[in-house]
Structure 1
Amino acid sequence: METETMNTAVKTASSEKPSSCLARQPILSKDEKVLGYELLFRESPQEDRFNADLEGGTRSIIDTLNVMGLDAVCDGRRAFINCSHDMLLKGFFQLLPAEKAVVEIQENVPVDERVVAACEQLRMDGYEIALDNFVPGDAREKLIPLANYLKIDVRRVVEQHCAALVAKHGANCTMIAQKVETRLQFIAALKDGFTLFQGYFFRHPERMRARHIPANQASQLRLLKAISAPEVDFDAVEALIKQDASLCYRLLRYLNSPLVGVSNTVHSVRHGITLLGERELVRWIRMATTLIMGQEKCSDLVLASLVRAHFCELIAPKVNHGSCDLFLIGMFSLMDAILEVPMGIVIEGLAFDAETRTELLGMKTGKPTALSPIYELMVSREAGEWDVVARHAKKLNLSLPFVNRAFNEAVSWAHQMTTAVPCEKK
């Protein structure tokens, strides 16, 4: 069953038809809960820059969202979409659900009577509006009464001006700090009064010290250790699953999901294990334990780890990855951020081979390894760093349409998995 599914997936991802270059950047609250994603788009793999603010780019984003589904792309959260002058006046955003779409008015949009009227209509229709890259003395100030969000680039606007903008407009608009890439930038923006933050700072945990892993997480790691052994002891695996009511529930939920399609009635944990088979069981345990261990963290970390895992799995047949399981490499690449401990402690005691250990540790130290191009491709693709994507795809002899199709499929698959193996939304 799994082989057939994977063959279909690889065949789909391998299609050389034009594919969308869609990436997303998370927007989070101060306690690191995801509010939504800004969507970034490049029209074709050959272009050198984002086109999210151009008519063609925005039109393509809307088309992609209608094909893939906004919930799949944004995990059920809001989509912040850049809007040019022409797109605003042509009303293309009416194709998207008002409760999920946020229209980002770009800094180069001239504020004339037609623009004001279009924004008023959007608000009447239930859409939210954000003013992107807002600066002191911005020409779009007359749109502030219609705006729900003001986005300020903290690398572009000095801190004292950021604080002044928040003090002036924070009572009427939700203030979003953009380009927050480090914990220090996050702390400074929080001090300035921002309530939402856009960037990847949360993937670099503040507390990366050697600490004991909590008991509930340690039990998940024991299960991961059991399935990493050269020969899986199914009695031990069954016993560990039975000790965790959450895992038992998730196993039964997964067996009854359309992704598996088991027609038999599952009457015991052992029966469920037998129905899955060793390979699918190992795969499911890796996903389920990641979801459970990540429940106390930003759900984007968990979702991103699933996207990475399946993306790596899809490109595996086309790249040289030695003895490493690329699904596992992708899945574990964010485990240090999920658990808030160094990667060395995460993999301590797990029966990973030396090559896998080297790769996982190399990702965090920046030390070049055999799989560094794969890791860099994975990270740059999710961040929408198109030039870096192109460079590493070329190193791996992968076409950009294939890379983009595989990534889009991985996003859809990860969304399906979080439905089939549910976890608490953060």
Structure 2
Amino acid sequence: MMSDPSNDSTGILFARQPIYDRQLNLAGYELLFRPYGGGPIVAADFDGNRATSQVLINAFTAADINEVCNQQPAYVNFTSDSLVQDIPFDSRVLVIEILEDVTDTGDVIEALTRLREEGHVMALDDYALNDASHPLLPFVDIVKLDYPAYTSDTLVSTIMALKARYPGLRLLAEKIETQEDYRIAMEAGCHLFQGYFLARPEPVRGRVMPINRLNTLKLLAELNAPDISMRDMAETVQRDPFLSVRLLRMANSAFAQQSRPVTSLHGAVMALGLSRIRSLASLLVLSRFEDKPHALQNLAMMLGHFCHQLAHHLPGQASEMGFTVGLFSCLDSFMDQPMEEILAQIPVHPDIEAALMHRTGALGLILQTATDYQKAHWESIDWPGLASLGLSPEQVAIAYQHALTRTNREQ
């Protein structure tokens, strides 16, 4: 399979398990999370949101998804949180598998409605009911029947009920373990089949650049320079093969339904816009810190967007430095170094350094506000100081909600 053109190490990107139709023709693959080093999945440490993000990033940026899936659809599990994010991947390639524990909250219903309007195919995973009563059934195209949960009779009656209520629904029998399982599911009227009898999951290997923390730190600093132009951004990304390949693939996934593909980094920057390319590039760079929890990456991106929104009221370059201040405020946790040592290794604007080191200046006030607000330390917030910057409590609340929404969309 294809890999990034860099001096990197090979590991497991994800696993794939084929799905077959009634004629045993290949009809798709389910892409499954696997630890990069190939070790076991520890249930106590498993994070469904991180698993979804990792599979999507690896499948659409570290791998050639069409090559991996032989031009067939890619089924990927989605949690409730994953569903409400803005998915920048081609609806003709991705099948969204709604996990069995997803409930019909307002946010989920709104997300499913939007995804259907965007043309996404959706499947309901691990269906084990004996009727057609699930509240999310009206939104899906495929139901994955948890075969071991049924007897022969209940399987037939459930399929009849589903077909009567949703005539266009396709039924996928999963966990097919034996020839007899396959025969029963066929005769019951299933359209698609998946399980160990047909094929076990196989690892898809690829190359991920090993992390050089100092080089990664310098790259983050360049990407977030306040005066960077689109041309400079493209040139900065171009020097990093890992980032170049992934951003190009991400741009083409996001804009895959356009008639003309994005073929250059300058084109990617133009298509995505400077602000979005900056945040996506920063997100991809932070994803290299595989030894750090996903929550830390989320926090860094959220603080970046929060400070960026608050800094809109500041004059000159300061308004563009808000994202950098928020993002960089977590660098000591990523690098396992004191902030003073980190800032000695990279060039940063004096106002950014003052904000990070001493929480002084307008940027320092904004950063302190963001961290206090995120921790619900309302009594610590300097509201008079914010008022002098033209920021009201209502504007701070709106900025926080915007930051949360933007961060969720980028996961």
Q: Higher relative CO (CA 8 A, sep ≥ 6), structure 1 or 2?
A: 1
Higher Cα Rg: structure 1 or 2? 2
TM-score by length of 1: 0.43
